Structure 1
Amino acid sequence: MLHINDLVYRIGGRVLLDGATAHIPAGQRVGLVGRNGTGKSTLLRLILNETAPDGGDVTVRPRASVGRVAQEAPAGDDTLLDCVLAADKERAALLADLPRAEDEADAHRLAEIHERLNAIDAHSAPARAASILSGLGFSAEAQARPVRDFSGGWRMRVALAAALFARPDLLLLDEPTNHLDLEATIWLENYLAAYPGTLIIVSHDRDLLNKVCQRILHLDKGKLVSYMGDYDDFARMRREMMELREKQAVKQEARRAHLQSFVDRFRAKATKARQAQSRLKMLEKMEPVIPIVEDKGIQFDFPQPEELAPPLIQVDGGTAGYDGKPVLRRLNFRIDMDDRIALLGANGNGKSTLAKIITGRLALMEGTLKASTKLRVGYFAQHQTEELNPLGTPLQHMAKLMPGVNDTKVRAHLGRFGFGAQLADNRVEQLSGGEKARLLIALMTHDAPHVLVLDEPTNHLDIDTRDALIEALNVFEGAVVLISHDPHLVELVADRLWLVADGGVKPFDGDMQDYRRLLLDQAREARREAKADARAANGADEAPAQSAANRKEDRRAAAELRQKLAPLKKQAQAAEKKMEKLTAQKDALEAKLADPKLYDGPADKVSALQIELGEVVKQLEETEMAWLEASEAYEEAMAAGA
């Protein structure tokens, strides 16, 4: 399907691609990964023939269609459905030609048009387009509205829907989840995993790459290196390769030192001169093993806030909305210093409204909100990039928030988020998307907030930088509230899930896998109901009332089973978390007891550590037993319910 041959591309004197080569067969789903700025998007433009290479070439199979998401968001008075249907150029052209052929009574042309429409399955196109739009979060009512009614982010979803609907032989996607919520992201994962054509995805979404890709192309230092498998397979193989090369380099250096030692010792001795000369030639011919060296990644270092008495924020009987219209009702929640909360729910359900309540940007219409008088809240949202002065530098933006603070301290805070001396003095308009996101995070933490509210913080961050953010959030001593379409981030940071739906907020009993299953169940139920409605409309449903009753009974039974299983699952999860903490304590105590310096000190300190270790081991054994019992009870109840 695609051949990339010794591709060379330079920009501003910098070599982005240096002999990059790859072959992608038809039907393969490929993830293109690499750090920000390595040239992934440039490679897609070269494949699309939008720019010319400085060397090498790109060859696409003849007559193969190549598609991508339009760079400009669609606009105008066309409905969403019509906008997506128009993406199938052949279908649109055939339908446009049909009235003309009918007017001219051209029987031969009419037969050709109808035959081709049947061949491309044109009659099912509206249903297929509606299904894609629905998966990306558009209701049937929304699909009938004009594109101009929607914001930029939603329009980009329409552009994505159009690209998927067109079903090109080769589909190129550049960060397709950036404008999606978690629900739409999960739908997209399943859709792309069954895509019938060839697929190249540039993404920093680890879960998407794992779910969809059969192969990973790593763009690093201008070269393309292929790894079979998903992203986790790539990460493991690359790590193993780095370790192997490092060992080989160490061994070779030892061998080189040994040969050089012999040469130095015996070169001047007549009896050993020939042997020394032989070893000198071996040294000259020895190809150095160059270890794979990773570029130094970005690190995050959140300033730690002083501790405040709980709760930091408490809302009782809250109602919130806009222009007198409630969006969220019956809000009752509290946030403490050690909370790690992720907000789940489709876009438009009120997650951002809840974030504004927590950050003090939206007052309650009813109810009470109590917060510590010393509370500081940091808020991150992608739209804030539009509020940055493009001509200002990161240093100037930060200095404005830290009046009276000397230049050294301002630069030190920027340095916590990867802004060295040179980058701190660059204009904002020169920064990449990832650098702007890091600047926003630096700005929001300038006063060491007690609560961090992060609304899609990983857009434009590469995988290594996302991992650095996860690590920093996990050592942060304040509270964290996340809104994210990245399940990997949610799973590794949040320990409480709140579901924002049906005009309210409630705890979600379960983990991200449970939430995925819930969404898939809801999607299947929606499809069944849509089919039932279609059959009823066509007069083919003999007992619609009975079917509705059966579906209602099935939902009731499923809800009862989830309710029955929730306490058991919660027990197992609590025991598992406790086991992790106890294991960490045990490892720390064993490390202390293994330190020889400990035994040079007081004997009672050694005894105290040994007693503490014994107690931790005992608790760990009891917790393991509790976990086993809870897990077995959960599995038995699950089997009985099934």
Structure 2
Amino acid sequence: MIRLDKITKQNGRQLVFIEASAALQRGEKAGLVGPNGAGKTTLFRMITGEEQPDEGQVAQDRGITIGYFSQDVGEMSGRSVVAEVMDGAGPVSAVAAELKALELALADPDRMDEMEALVERYGDVQGRFEELGGYGLEARAYEVLAGLGFSQEMMDGDVGRLSGGWKMRVALARILLMRPDVMLLDEPSNHLDIESLIWLESFLKGYDGALLMTSHDREFMNRIVSKIVEIDAGQLTTFSGDYAFYEQQRAQNEAQQQAQFERQQAMLAKEIAFIERFKARASHAAQVQSRVKKLDKIERVEPPRRRQSVAFEFQPAPRSGEEVATLKGVHKRYGSRIIYEGLDFAVRRRERWCVMGINGAGKSTLLKLVTGTAEPDSGSVAVGANVKLGYFAQHAMDVLDGDQTIFEMLEETFPQAGQGSLRALAGCFGFSGDDVEKRCRVLSGGEKARLVMARMLYDPPNFLVLDEPTNHLDMATKEMLITALSAFEGTMLFVSHDRHFLAALSNRTLELTPDGVHAYGGGYTEYVARTGQEAPGLRS
């Protein structure tokens, strides 16, 4: 369906692809993986024709439709959300526009002399509209928007009033409604809550076209794709299987290549030692020359290209008291909307609570109440003895000083720490070498999140409160964070839509529902087993 044949592409000084080849067949669902900056977006843009390879070619089957969802959604305003989504539904939206124009023309008394031609054209266009499923388009648009978490009021409201994250969902809905022959989805799982994520999983499983997507959500990727295309050092390598199989296969390939490299290095060292030892002896001249020629002809095995991922280890945190946080009879409302009525909740030392609930259930509000960044209308919130609090909130990234470099920010926060220690900290969170000289204003969302996390964890608190800590983080950084937090001996209260993160770190679950607050004595895995659902909003 789509074939990349020996493509070479250079962006500035960077060689992004070097004679790389891959293919996407009809109906295949493939994940595109590779480190940040490897060229995933460039590959998408070459498939859509927005960019051309310097050498090689991108070939497509004649007449196929391609839908491309990227993180750059552009301007949206001036019409309802549902109208915006229907307008992007591919050929059917163009036919709908012509049908509407013909209806206006048929009602125009000044065009009576064209009536016969207009009626004939209207019949043709109406037939095409019906053939494309146009009459069910609006109902399908509402269905897709509901799946992505929009309320009826939001669907009928002005798209221009939505936040950036919700506009992303609108852009995604346009592609899903279009149902093209090929979908290219660049991080579709960003900005989605867990209910919308699970709905999207189900939609994509039932989609019969070809799919190529990137995602930092391991569970999401595993459940959808049956093939992985990896970009690494300018090459495209295809693996059959899901992301978990790819990881396993890649580790196995690396181990084999490392073993081959080490065997060859040992053999080369032995041959070179022989040559050095006997090169001055005439009696061994023929043997020496023979071995020199042999070494010249040997194809060298390269060591595996290892992706840099540095483990972060916590310094021991001070021990807190047994009672870490206690909420008694807490009432909280925003305007006429009641969030909590008489909430009682307690967090004890070494508990790791994950908080579940649909959008608007009060997850972030609970975290704000516990951290003191919001006050209850009535009732009490108390933090226990010797509790040292660390709070990761989404807005924390907005208050970074844009003029400071990464290293200057770390130095200002930890003036007593040595340069080597701070550079090691930066390296753990993906800032190596000259990266530490980047100014905060140029950092991506993921880089800002990593910097805030590094600053919070260096001098560790004993009570971590985390609001969506994995948003914007790539898989390697998530894994590093999970590994680090698994070894953390303090207490945690957190919200996340990443099921891998939830399952790996929680040992208690708090579920917020319209019927009340429910506490479960096990972590997220036990919660799923007990309720039969992966999120509260999925219950019938």
Match of 1:133 among 141, 145, 158: 145
Name the residue aligned to 1:315: 327
How many pairs does the alignment contain? 525
Name the residue aligned to 2:89: 88
Report matched runs for 1:308-387 at 5 Å: 308-323=320-335, 325-372=337-384, 374-387=386-399
TM-score, normalization: structure 1?
0.75
Aligned residues of 1:41 and 1:174 also touching (Cα < 8 A): yes
More strand by share: 2
Aligned residues of 1:330 and 1:504 also touching (Cα < 8 A): no
Secondary structure of the 1:50 match is coil
Pick closer, same or farther for the CA change 1:516–1:160 going to 2, 3 Å.
farther
The 1-side partners of 2:530 and 2:446 are apart by: 29
Aligned residues of 1:337 and 1:477 also touching (Cα < 8 A): no
Aligned residues of 1:349 and 1:503 also touching (Cα < 8 A): no
Q: CA deviation at 1:502?
A: 1.4
Which digits, 9 at most, give the CA deviation of each residue in 1:32-70, with x for residues without a partner?
111122221222223223234333332333322221226
Q: Which residue identity lines up with residue 381 of structure 1 in the other structure? A: A
Q: CA deviation at 1:25?
A: 1.5
Name the residue aligned to 1:154: 166
Pick closer, same or farther for the CA change 1:283–1:424 going to 2, 3 Å.
closer
Name the residue aligned to 1:562: none
Secondary structure of the 1:26 match is coil
Secondary structure of the 1:445 match is helix
Q: Which residue identity lines up with residue 472 of structure 2 in the other structure? A: H
Name the residue aligned to 1:28: 28
Pick closer, same or farther for the CA change 1:500–1:77 going to 2, 3 Å.
farther
Quick check: 1:195 aligned with 2:210? no
Name the residue aligned to 2:435: 423
Q: CA deviation at 1:519?
A: 5.5
Pick closer, same or farther for the CA change 1:117–1:514 going to 2, 3 Å.
farther
The 2-side partners of 1:133 and 1:293 are apart by: 43
Which digits, 9 at most, give the CA deviation of each residue in 1:65-116, with x for residues without a partner?
2212262266324222222112124323323322554513434323322221
Report matched runs for 1:153-232 at 5 Å: 153-232=165-244
Q: CA deviation at 1:401?
A: 3.8
Name the residue aligned to 1:450: 462
Pick closer, same or farther for the CA change 1:166–1:517 going to 2, 3 Å.
farther
Name the residue aligned to 1:605: none
Match of 1:254 among 256, 266, 286: 266
Q: CA deviation at 1:522?
A: 6.8
Which digits, 9 at most, give the CA deviation of each residue in 1:473-529, with x for residues without a partner?
11112222222121111111112121122174322466444389425997584xxxx
Q: Which residue identity lines up with residue 2 of structure 2 in the other structure? A: L
Once structures 1 and 2 are overlaid, which stretch shifts more, 255-264 or 309-318? 255-264
Aligned residues of 1:302 and 1:476 also touching (Cα < 8 A): yes
Aligned residues of 2:31 and 2:213 also touching (Cα < 8 A): yes
Aligned residues of 2:2 and 2:61 also touching (Cα < 8 A): yes
Name the residue aligned to 1:289: 301
Once structures 1 and 2 are overlaid, which stretch shifts more, 35-44 or 247-256? 247-256
Name the residue aligned to 1:65: 65
Q: CA deviation at 1:266?
A: 5.9
Name the residue aligned to 2:43: 43
Secondary structure of the 1:308 match is coil
Once structures 1 and 2 are overlaid, which stretch shifts more, 216-225 or 412-421? 412-421
More helix by share: 1
Aligned residues of 2:356 and 2:536 also touching (Cα < 8 A): no
Quick check: 1:439 aligned with 2:451? yes
Which digits, 9 at most, give the CA deviation of each residue in 1:416-460, with x for residues without a partner?
534446322221133333322111112333553222222222222
Name the residue aligned to 1:10: 10
Aligned residues of 1:320 and 1:364 also touching (Cα < 8 A): yes
Aligned residues of 1:69 and 1:163 also touching (Cα < 8 A): yes
Secondary structure of the 2:20 match is strand
Name the residue aligned to 2:405: 393
The 1-side partners of 2:479 and 2:534 are apart by: 26
CA RMSD of aligned residues (A): 2.8
Larger gyration radius, structure 1 or structure 2? 1
Q: Which residue identity lines up with residue 22 of structure 1 in the other structure? A: A
Q: CA deviation at 1:268?
A: 6.4
TM-score, normalization: structure 2?
0.89
The 2-side partners of 1:148 and 1:425 are apart by: 37
Q: CA deviation at 1:152?
A: 2.0
The 2-side partners of 1:515 and 1:52 are apart by: 52
Aligned residues of 2:429 and 2:477 also touching (Cα < 8 A): no
The 2-side partners of 1:521 and 1:436 are apart by: 30
Aligned residues of 1:302 and 1:448 also touching (Cα < 8 A): yes
Match of 2:533 among 518, 525, 545: 518
Name the residue aligned to 1:486: 498
The 1-side partners of 2:276 and 2:399 are apart by: 66
Aligned residues of 1:178 and 1:459 also touching (Cα < 8 A): yes
Name the residue aligned to 2:109: none
Secondary structure of the 1:254 match is helix
Report matched runs for 1:500-539 at 5 Å: 500-502=512-514, 504-508=516-520, 511-512=524-525, 513-514=528-529, 517-518=532-533, 525=540
Q: CA deviation at 1:127?
A: 2.1
Aligned residues of 1:80 and 1:146 also touching (Cα < 8 A): yes
Q: CA deviation at 1:272?
A: 5.8
Pick closer, same or farther for the CA change 1:217–1:73 going to 2, 3 Å.
same
The 1-side partners of 2:307 and 2:417 are apart by: 32
Aligned residues of 2:357 and 2:536 also touching (Cα < 8 A): no
Unmatched runs of 5 consecutive residues or more in structure 1: 526-642
Aligned residues of 2:324 and 2:348 also touching (Cα < 8 A): yes
Pick closer, same or farther for the CA change 1:130–1:519 going to 2, 3 Å.
farther
Name the residue aligned to 1:464: 476
Aligned residues of 1:67 and 1:168 also touching (Cα < 8 A): yes
Pick closer, same or farther for the CA change 1:92–1:419 going to 2, 3 Å.
closer
Q: Which residue identity lines up with residue 180 of structure 2 in the other structure? A: P
Q: Which structure is richer in relative contact order (CA contacts within 8 A, separation 6 or more)?
A: 2
The 2-side partners of 1:448 and 1:300 are apart by: 12
Aligned residues of 1:74 and 1:158 also touching (Cα < 8 A): no
The 2-side partners of 1:225 and 1:333 are apart by: 50
Secondary structure of the 1:312 match is strand
Name the residue aligned to 1:112: 124
Unmatched runs of 5 consecutive residues or more in structure 2: 107-114
Q: CA deviation at 1:225?
A: 0.8
Pick closer, same or farther for the CA change 1:298–1:193 going to 2, 3 Å.
farther
Secondary structure of the 1:518 match is coil
Identity of aligned residues (%): 35
Q: CA deviation at 1:260?
A: 4.2
